[in-house]
Chain A
Amino acid sequence: MNTGTELWLFAVSLGASALGGTLGMASGIFIVPVLTIFGHFDIRSAIGASIVSVIACSCSSAAPFLKGRLTNVRLAIVLETATTAGALTGVLLAGTIPASYLFFIFGMILLLSAQQMLAKRRDPALAPTQPLMGRPTTRRLDSSYPDRALGRDIAYRVELLPMGLMLMYGAGLISALLGIGSGVLKVPAMDTTLRLPIKVSSATSNFMISVTAAASAGAYLVRGYIVAPIAGSVVLGSVVGAILGARVLMSISNDRIRLLFVVVLVALAAQMLLAAFNADLFRGPA
């Protein structure tokens, strides 16, 4: 591998991560398609590089949320029992699934992301359909977070935990299989079942991503999916991009980026689905 390739990887990851960061998305969802479609990298080494960058982005952005007491660390560890178990299943499947299937699943996840990006996310904790009963909050999972806009602590409850755990298992599985943070599956899990305030679910989901990814990254490192020069450039680019992305988060009109994102996601989904039917069809399991 030459210096040019490393620079290309660094720049592409920086761009993907900065763009993703502006809408609160992980970079992983762009890195694998870009590396495979434009860089012609093998999908497994793309996934290996991506999973490490997912860990890096989650770790590098966790601190402000923790200090702002938005992250519910107790809830995170409980949900992580499900996400890591899912990741373990993903690692087992990853060794046997043909590359064409990975392209196909990735395409579907991209379409799902596009659909989510179009739908406006409403704060489930404020939804009137879920009247809070007068039950005292006795469980240690329930907590409160300081709301800057209102200037006081907002208490919240964790609803429908078993259902949430099942969805988290699926999110962990997809995360390991595709090398993404799979926020696209965690968001509905948090919104429709646990019904947390958006700020809490974003912070907690981001906090969980690194541990979920570590469960599969260890296996991929040992298996040799993580190729040092590729992964190194991608990881460094993503970390720098995430920092830049967080800076511009508020300064550009969100609706316009949102639309741009939908177009990009659909285009990448089409490419990945095409690749699923064309490439690697006859390359057996790894």
Chain B
Amino acid sequence: MRWKSVPLIAAMLVVALVGAVTVAQDHERGSTPLFNAEDLLFLKHMIVHHEQAVVMSALVPARTDRDEFIRFARYVARAQAAEIASMQSLLELAADRGIDVPDYHAHGDPPMAGMLSSAEMKAIAAASGAEFERLWLEGMVYHHQGAIDMASAQQRQQLATGRQPYEIAVLVEEILVEQRAEIDKMRAWLGEWGLAGRARRSDVAQRAE
């Protein structure tokens, strides 16, 4: 052993101590739950919410001749179906990790704020042509706004707890972005296609009844 090893030993001591602290911190981090109850409830709610968008999108091809509208509906359906699959797998992951996933059964009509009621869905399904386009676009704008509100609430919850839950944080941001852009597009079409201002979305339910 040469004298030059002495500072090396001192350095190694520092390294070891820092490493020990880090390991302790790692251990604490590793024990932090992957998701909390609010995260999981967010996933449960958003799955139900997205499923209605998929159902709505399936109505489009048979009720309009507009190619761009049909393409858009196809795009919305597939994007939301992929997000549903992603959210379901996160719930499965939580269960695999021994995290209690809360039960959630949709009930009520509509099942939650930001969704359309069964009467509204029936009215859209019964319409065609310009009337269908207006009801669908207004309904989907309202529906998307519901998703944005839910995602914003989830983001506030994350901020308050200082967490970036695994994959949910990214999903939330995607929902906020995609659905805002899609609302802009749908509102633009309502104007361009001469459909805006004819009726409010709330009128749909009244007529359906």
A binds B: no
Chain A residues in the interface with B (C-beta under 8 A)? none
Chain B residues in the interface with A (C-beta under 8 A)? none
